[in-house]
Amino acid sequence: MAIIKGNMVVGQSGGPTVVINQSLVGAVKQAMKHPEITGIYGMKHGIKGILNEEFIDLKQEDDAMLEKIANTPASALGTSRHKPTPEDCEKIFAVFEKYNVKYWFYIGGNDSAETCHIVNEIARKNNYELRVFHIPKTVDNDLMGTDHSPGYPSAAKYVALCFMGNNLDNRALPGVKIDIVMGRHAGWLTAAAVLGRKYEDDGPHLVYVPEHPVSLEQIVHDIDNVYEKYQRCIVAVSEGVKTPDGKLLGEGFINEKDMHGNVQLSGSGALGDSLANYVKEHSRHKKLRVRADTLGYAQRSFPNIYSDIDKQEARMVGEEAVKYAMKGDIDGSVALKRIGDYAVEADLIKLSEVAQKTKLLPKNYINKEGNNITDAFLDYALPLVGELPEPVRLKEVAVIKR
Amino acid sequence: MAIIKGNMVVGQSGGPTVVINQSLVGAVKQAMKHPEITGIYGMKHGIKGILNEEFIDLKQEDDAMLEKIANTPASALGTSRHKPTPEDCEKIFAVFEKYNVKYWFYIGGNDSAETCHIVNEIARKNNYELRVFHIPKTVDNDLMGTDHSPGYPSAAKYVALCFMGNNLDNRALPGVKIDIVMGRHAGWLTAAAVLGRKYEDDGPHLVYVPEHPVSLEQIVHDIDNVYEKYQRCIVAVSEGVKTPDGKLLGEGFINEKDMHGNVQLSGSGALGDSLANYVKEHSRHKKLRVRADTLGYAQRSFPNIYSDIDKQEARMVGEEAVKYAMKGDIDGSVALKRIGDYAVEADLIKLSEVAQKTKLLPKNYINKEGNNITDAFLDYALPLVGELPEPVRLKEVAVIKR
């Protein structure tokens, strides 16, 4: 099948990650190798860039600078949370026709895959040759069909380190510490809290994820039990944890909704504070020292904390998308397939497989009680984050009392 | 003057830092060189370790492990926020007599210096030869008499990186972002938010510190002005910022007090959330996207983010304290004196100079409007944190509209 000639558009969507520019640079540099791709246009601020016809000429960027861009966290093209309407999708197609765009690479999560899917269908209906590729990206790791999502390993490393520090801090200055972790629907990032555990009594001692509903009473009960055993307790709580009646644990405190109709949770210190106060009031232990932190945007944009594998893979999925596009009449979402311990290869799956779907933590990654993460998850996630520091402890030989 | 023979006690107090174990190991390894120091005892959980006579025999720890301890964040001996009463201080002295303790090294902030000072006075009154040394430590950097406090450079680096990531994130996905930074009385750590700025429009665009009172109205006004200029705004707010009537900005939301009678601020997501809501409601701009994060305990305990200079200096002040103690009848607090650009040497200052005092940001580090940090601060702080990453931007050559 003949390779079509025309312009290419590439864009970044949704929340940034620290490796999302690796995917961008991977796609751009790969595209530069192919004369069939005439112009390489970057979408300014995601879908808005197409709707407003604001494109950047990426052929004007030099190679050395592109490499530095790849190592800069957060979306270099700008991003957006705008969810396109059906009219927007028609407009996107119209703009593509106008600019002779034949290749579209969109780096994002399941909402972006959905947009890709819709626009691709419109192109087909119009007999317009368009190659549409979704390049996976999300710190939430909740995309279907891929072993994991680029962006997740680095975010998971940040979360693991944060809890490692919190564990050392809490051991030095005991009490109850609650940390709220990102992850609206799935507990992948919250589960990463356990990756830095080393000693038997290391925290987090309790982990609550959206996949397993839990009541406030149960949380207090669990904390009290851990506190009795260790005189301290660290709790990892996903922002998306639900109570058995299906409501968000944090509902009632939070009343803003984002463009996608989701309850806005990021940066909501209220959930942590409210939970801390609730635990303090309802604990069996008097005068319990309870503190809460909400890990915040640092999870997705903190510089310096990268997983090397994540960098490489994020680059690879960008490159592979362009390689697939050069193979003829195919579209899809680039996926990572684990083929060894540890190795991956690229795979191409249908846009509809990824669009608007959410991959949850499998049942065997959550313990029976629904308050901790199993070793099966370690086997999955440890190779992704790479080496972590190894904190040590004093032998603590007691001086004999006089 | 003859060097006295006897046991040594070393302890860690207050909030942990990532380099506080460097000071511990510095003191312990230095002490091992001196036969006059017979036993080397570690206080378990700060002052409580003395009051409960819970000491660790640090001579039992081997060298290689001590080096690993030095590189482990948070107080390896355990720490405490217990503020000793006058009776406690008498008890401390009595325990020292009982255990033949002649040397006391206490790693901590200005409360710890005060405790050192009181116990030292009791020893003098009793004609008991005791060498008392305060070893400075605090992420807040608010100790008098020293150029800076070990622990601060690493925490400052974490804060600088956090804001660097937030700035990239916010540039990619514009809006108003408020970050609450630790620092009850002084704005040192909040000021560090500016250390990663590179481009003219990089955030934080506004910085509020306890040294300069500000009203909520003024904050909204400032944010609106920045937003008009850049269509985005990042704000660094110290947890200790006060309104012109002398009240804490966050007062009203927070009602718990810690052992020292201070209003408890750490981990208070409520301040950030309340401020974000206030800005949203009172901004001239409709539907402003305002988010808030509270940086939390990661500021003082996040592993992997160290300043190399901080590591070296934290080790040095521990070693120097012991060296001073070997010089005869002197006591005091070890200080860092800046002697070059950049170099420091150790200095010894009176315990009473440090005790219970707070070093504020000098006036020339804050701009006239009281909403930003000047270049004079950069000259002071940049050498402390060391090299930071250099994020880059695309050239952004626009594609001509069709």
Q: pLDDT in tens for each of the 402 residues of chain B?
A: 568 999 999 999 999 999 999 999 999 999 999 999 999 999 999 999 999 999 999 999 999 999 999 999 999 999 999 999 999 999 999 999 999 999 999 999 999 999 999 999 999 999 999 999 999 999 999 999 999 999 999 999 999 999 999 999 999 999 999 999 999 899 999 999 999 999 999 999 999 999 999 999 999 999 999 999 999 999 999 999 999 999 998 775 544 444 444 444 444 567 898 899 899 999 999 889 999 999 999 999 999 999 999 999 999 999 999 999 999 888 999 999 999 999 999 999 999 999 989 999 999 999 999 999 999 999 999 999 999 999 999 999 999 999
Taking only the tens place, the pLDDT of each residue in A282-338 is 999 988 999 999 999 999 999 999 999 999 999 999 999 999 999 988 899 999 999
Nearest to B389 among A39, A60, A304 (CB): A304
Contact A172 B60 (CB under 8 A): no
CB-CB: which of B78, B177, B401 is closest to A53? B401
Q: Which residue of A has its CA nearest to B81?
A: A173
Query: What is the nearest CA distance from B368 to chain A, expressed in angstroms?
Result: 30
Angle, helices A20-32/A63-70, rounded to nearest 10 degrees: 150
The predicted pLDDT at position B194 comes to 98
* pLDDT for the residue B2: 67
Which residue in the set A174, A302, A401 is minimally distant from B162, CB to CB? A302
Q: Which residues of B touch A42 (CB under 8 A)?
A: 394
Burial A80-111 (b: 16+ CB within 10 A, else e): bbbbbeeebbebbbebbeebebbbbbbbbbbb
At A328 the pLDDT is: 84
Q: What is the pLDDT of residue B271?
A: 86
Residues of B in contact with A45 (CB under 8 A): 172
Would you call A326 helix, strand, or coil by DSSP? coil
DSSP state of A147: S
Backbone angles phi, psi at B187, to 5 degrees: -95, 15
- A165 to B399: CB separation less than 8 angstroms, yes or no: no
* 3-class state of residue A99 by DSSP: coil
Q: How far is CA A139 from CA A157, A327, B204, in A?
A: 11, 30, 24
Name which of B42, B266, B399 is nearest A41 (Cβ-Cβ). Answer: B399
Spatial distance between the Cα atoms of A179 and B346, rounded to a whole number of angstroms: 39
CA distance B291 to A270: 12
CA-nearest of B259, B264, B124, B114 to B182 is B264
Burial degree of A32 (CB within 10 A; 0-12, 13-18, 19+): middle
Q: Would you name the residues of A annotated as active-site residues?
A: 140
DSSP string, B14-67: SS--SSHHHHHHHHHHHHHT-TTEEEEEEETTTHHHHHTT-EEEGGGS-HHHHH
Contacts of A171 in chain B (CB under 8 A): 74, 78
Question: DSSP strand E in B247-331: where?
Answer: 290-294
> Contacts of residue A108 in chain B, CB cutoff 8 Å?
none
Residue contact A296–B293, C-beta within 8 A: yes
Q: Which strands form B206-208's sheet, in the order they lie side by side?
A: B206-208, B233-238, B176-181, B290-294
Task: Specify the pLDDT at position A7.
Answer: 98
Please tell me the predicted confidence (pLDDT) of residue B252.
52
* Residue from A44, A98, A111, A173 whose CB has the most chain B CBs within 10 Å, to mutate: A173
**B94, B98, B99, B70: which is closest to B84 by C-alpha?**
B94
Rounded CA-CA distance B364/B375 in Å is: 9
Q: Are A302 and B81 a contacting pair at CB < 8 A?
A: no
Contact call for B166 and A389, based on CB within 8 A: no
The whole-number mean pLDDT for each consecutive block of 10 residues of chain A, a chain of 402 residues, reads 88 96 98 97 97 98 96 97 94 98 97 96 96 97 98 98 98 97 95 97 98 96 98 97 90 50 51 90 93 95 96 98 93 96 96 95 98 98 97 97 93
Q: Which residues on chain A are in Cβ contact (under 8 Å) with B81?
A: 173
According to DSSP, residue A60 is labeled: G
Residues of B marked as catalytic: 140
Tell the burial category of A374 from Cβ atoms under 10 Å away from its Cβ (0-12, 13-18, 19+).
middle
Q: What percent of chain A has pLDDT over 90?
A: 89
Q: Which helix (H) or strand (E) holds A159?
A: helix A152-172
3-state helix, strand, coil in chain A (%, to 5): 40, 20, 40
Using H for helix, E for strand and C for coil, what is the string for B273-287? Answer: HHHHHHHHHHCCCCC
Is residue B272 a contact partner of residue B250, using CB atoms and an 8 Å limit? no
Interface test with B, best of A254, A297, A300 (most B CBs within 10 A): A297
- Say if the Cβ atoms of A69 and B392 lie within 8 Å: yes
Confidence (pTM): 0.96
Q: Which of A12, A169, A254 to mutate to test the interface with B (most CBs of B within 10 A)?
A: A169
Contact between B159 and B384 under an 8 Å Cβ cutoff? The reply is: no
